[in-house]
A = this chain, B = another copy of it.
Amino acid sequence: SKHYKIAVLAGDGIGPEVMAEAERVLQVVADKFQFGISLTPALIGGAAIDATGEPLPPQTLSICQQSDAILFGSVGGPKWTGLAPDQQPERGSLLPLRKTFDLFCNLRPGQIYPAFADLSPLHPRVSSLGMDVLCVRELTGGIYFGEKGRSDTDAFDTQRYSVAEIERIAHVAFAAAQKRSNKVTSIDKANVLQTSILWRETVERVAQDYPGVTLEHMYIDNAAMQLIRSPQQFDVLLCDNLFGDILSDEIAAIAGSLGLLPSASLNGSGFGLYEPAGGSAPDIAGKGIANPIAQILSAALMLRYSFGEEDAARAIEQAVQHCLTQHIVTRDINPKSTYGTAAVGAAIVATL
């Protein structure tokens, strides 16, 4: 019978609290849909620095390597901001994990649900039109990983993209659009960057394999503007590493519900890292009030993308929807709510 090994990297801040709820949910769907799971915890981020001196200890890496997927909480906090950039929890754990496992594809859905349009910081005349976008971000190339260096008087970073790198992320975007509304908006700065010109040409060519999907190109500056003016125009956004970093957070802000947004980072063999879009929120850590939904929905994405357990994934998503419509939510969603992290987790478990 099927059995999935999951590395559980809860991390810092609210990470451990929300992860506990995701683990409960996973146990329940495993029973219900008759597959086995093992959940192996490992140190990551600030917690790992405190215990071992390193944000991504070898022991953690080896647990990940022996697993079928990584469920990631969140890392970072004020305690570690004084460290050198590449020793910091976020950068020192996420970038090497992405590179080691070739997680080239980051998927970040962002929605304004009509019933929760008021969560969005957009005007009702805009938010009432809804938003349902999937940001497909290239995650292992570009200026993040190009040659860089510095002297006393200057510094440089290199953005480099190969046709092959652009092709593989473009295929993901077009395939995703086919299951959604058949539209891809490819983001670039082709009026300035050579990498963007190559990006645009390559995406045009890949598009020919997907005749049912409409392709449009948009400059990053215009996209940053259009997302605010009329987010309902977008379906799939196809972005390089840096532009995807910026726009996926802009989308999260527009959705207005960071606590609801999961994210998946995948490689070409079904392995993935799943994490909430929000951060470690040290200000509310330990209070039992953090929203567990983004972590729980990240677990659902793991079931879908890494394990092919579509029914179990959908069951979780429906249970979450049910709780949302019943107003069983933490106070980031409704300031008057008295439900805490565990209560929302319990309600989702009960619905399942």
List residues of chain A with CB under 8 Å of any chain B CB: 85, 88, 90-91, 95, 118, 120-127, 143-144, 146, 148-150, 152-164, 189-195, 197-198, 220-222, 224-229, 242, 245-250, 252-254
Contact = CB atoms under 8 A, between A and B. Distances in A.
A238 to B, nearest CB: 17
Most chain B beta-carbon neighbours within 10 Å: one of A91, A118, A148, A156: A156
B156 A195 contact: yes
Given A121-B126, A159-B157, A229-B121, A224 B198 contact: no
A155 B194 contact: yes
Given A121-B125, A157-B194, 14 more contacts: A85-B190, A118-B123, A143-B192, A150-B195, A154-B162, A155-B194, A156-B194, A220-B246, A221-B245, A221-B246, A225-B252, A226-B253, A227-B253, A246-B246
A236 to B, nearest CB: 19
A220 B198 CA distance: 24
B162 A195 contact: no
B121 A193 contact: no
A146 B154 contact: no
Given A221-B246, A250-B224, A143 B162 contact: no
Contacts of A221: 245-246, 248-249
A222 B248 CA distance: 10
Contact of A253 (B144, B146, B229): B229
A197 B85 contact: yes
A159 to B, nearest CB: 5
Contact of A224 (B120, B161, B163, B246): B246
Most chain B beta-carbon neighbours within 10 Å: one of A118, A120, A125, A157: A157
A231 B155 CA distance: 31
